[in-house]
Structure 1
């Protein structure tokens, strides 16, 4: 059937809506963004000044490095939570319990990221649930403001990203034959050697897919970072927002956007090379 569609040209007709969607909403805006980044704000002439502003400013570079560091750390924390959870769901729980746990994981994502961030604000604010609980238990006498700290931002980012790490790992572990794990134990292997030699290598494609998605989502996050971090969040996307919306400097904002996009692509490429994973295999 596929060959017939190719011969008649109907395949391209079926793909046309998707190609138009990608072209109009992804390719063309990125081309425009790239061109804007090399134009002067006032004259429109070719310039490298927008990029020079980033590389010569300790403030912008510092915020960028901070964003990358916490994006990597958030990805690692998310992986540390998601992998054991996915393993228990696929290899320990019954089918009924597995379905209930998966539903419980997915259910919070039926609401928007904005609502999730507001929920964390209710928990972490000075008069919030966490502060009230600590006072009720006698741990502290005064209200404590937990908002606007780096760790608070990380908690919110891990929560909003967890699903995108769990599901790919679940899919990878589902294809792992339990007899391989049993054979490892029969041959004298313990839990850690089995995990190192069999389970982790088999689930590596899922780990890579989840890590890539989480890293990209966290690196480009704006809502959660702004609400939970406030003015102390120091996230690079806030600099991009300020250039576009506050200062009306689209050219500088475009340059920052291109820098962030280029870095994320190069980082993912390097990650795949280091781990010797093929992108087509991982996806």
Structure 2
């Protein structure tokens, strides 16, 4: 606070702090507060809100587990979707890390600055296009008679076209691509701070490449991996466009269920409760990643 005042003066600092506070209050705190209050109400017509039938309840949260048999693992429909979303978002996070790690290493420590800048530009340019258009592009690429199947069948990898859009494959591919940069840049930033002399010393001592990455590079890049994993998981779990366009009815995402309760079922209390359970899941994942990688908020902020 004192550094901010010393740099910009008391008047400008007060305006900046007040503007930030108003923005957070109006765009973050109040909407969440209203949604939280909604989630504890029963679903009644608008004219009956505030009346004797409009009471507080935990039924909206319990409804996610209604009809679930724990002993036979027979889950309720909405709970199945919730579990599928957790698994899918975790898999997208792992795929993003697997794809981005070698690229981030190459850009940070192998490529020349000019080449690295050119390759980063090639990565960024497609993301100047709207997310919906990029998702539709993947819809065309992954179509049954699309260019991907034509190429795979043409080179003899597949005997017949594969239905990418009838299961989880299309959603996983689309999400991995959509959130690639959120894993790439934290990894690059973390790897760039590694002293290359450590790697050279390990090579001089005869260490193979895989051991260098396992014992030197990956431990050093833990904050970057943690930040990337958090961002990709949260964005994947809360994504709506990609699973709606590239998924099928049997691979519905939990965000689609929330949308249905809000707008098709007109049950805002249940939709709010489901949204907060998804938010709680994301918070638990963030805390779990921080504990797993043994990083704190200071490490992540770097």
TM range (shorter): over 0.9
> Please, which of 212, 216, 220 is the counterpart of residue 194 of structure 1?
212
SS in 1 for 2:247: helix
Q: Tell me if 1:256 matches 2:274.
A: yes
Q: 1:2 maps to which residue?
A: 4
Alpha-carbon distance in structure 1 between the residues aligned to 2:19 and 2:232: 28
Alpha-carbon distance in structure 1 between the residues aligned to 2:197 and 2:160: 55
Q: Tell me if 1:23 matches 2:33.
A: no
Q: Tell me if 1:81 matches 2:83.
A: no
Q: 1:282 maps to which residue?
A: 300
Once the two structures are TM-superposed, the CA of residue 209 in structure 1 deviates from its matched residue by 0.5
Q: 2:63 maps to which residue?
A: 53
SS in 2 for 1:147: helix
Alpha-carbon distance in structure 1 between the residues aligned to 2:199 and 2:205: 10
Once the two structures are TM-superposed, the CA of residue 143 in structure 1 deviates from its matched residue by 5.2
With over 3 angstroms needed to count, the CA separation of the structure-2 counterparts of 1:128 and 1:190, relative to structure 1, is closer
Moved more, 136-145 or 184-193: 136-145
Aligned partners of 1:226 and 1:233 also within 8 Å: no
SS in 1 for 2:211: helix
Aligned partners of 2:230 and 2:285 also within 8 Å: no
Q: 1:69 maps to which residue?
A: 87
Once the two structures are TM-superposed, the CA of residue 104 in structure 1 deviates from its matched residue by 0.9
TM-score (norm. length: structure 1) = 0.93
Once the two structures are TM-superposed, the CA of residue 131 in structure 1 deviates from its matched residue by 2.9
Deviations for 1:127-178, whole angstroms, at most 9, x for unmatched residues? 2212333454566676553213201110000000111000111111111111
Q: 1:102 maps to which residue?
A: 120
Q: 2:256 maps to which residue?
A: 238
Give me the CA root mean square deviation: 1.9
Aligned partners of 2:223 and 2:293 also within 8 Å: no
With over 3 angstroms needed to count, the CA separation of the structure-2 counterparts of 1:206 and 1:138, relative to structure 1, is closer
Alpha-carbon distance in structure 1 between the residues aligned to 2:35 and 2:243: 24
Aligned partners of 2:244 and 2:252 also within 8 Å: no
Structure 1 residue ranges without an equivalent (≥5): none
Deviations for 1:30-65, whole angstroms, at most 9, x for unmatched residues? 111111100111133101110111122411111111
TM-score (norm. length: structure 2) = 0.88
With over 3 angstroms needed to count, the CA separation of the structure-2 counterparts of 1:137 and 1:204, relative to structure 1, is closer
Structure 2 residue ranges without an equivalent (≥5): 45-52, 68-75
Alpha-carbon distance in structure 1 between the residues aligned to 2:294 and 2:169: 32
Once the two structures are TM-superposed, the CA of residue 282 in structure 1 deviates from its matched residue by 1.3
SS in 1 for 2:165: coil
With over 3 angstroms needed to count, the CA separation of the structure-2 counterparts of 1:187 and 1:136, relative to structure 1, is closer
Alpha-carbon distance in structure 2 between the residues aligned to 1:250 and 1:98: 48
With over 3 angstroms needed to count, the CA separation of the structure-2 counterparts of 1:40 and 1:98, relative to structure 1, is same
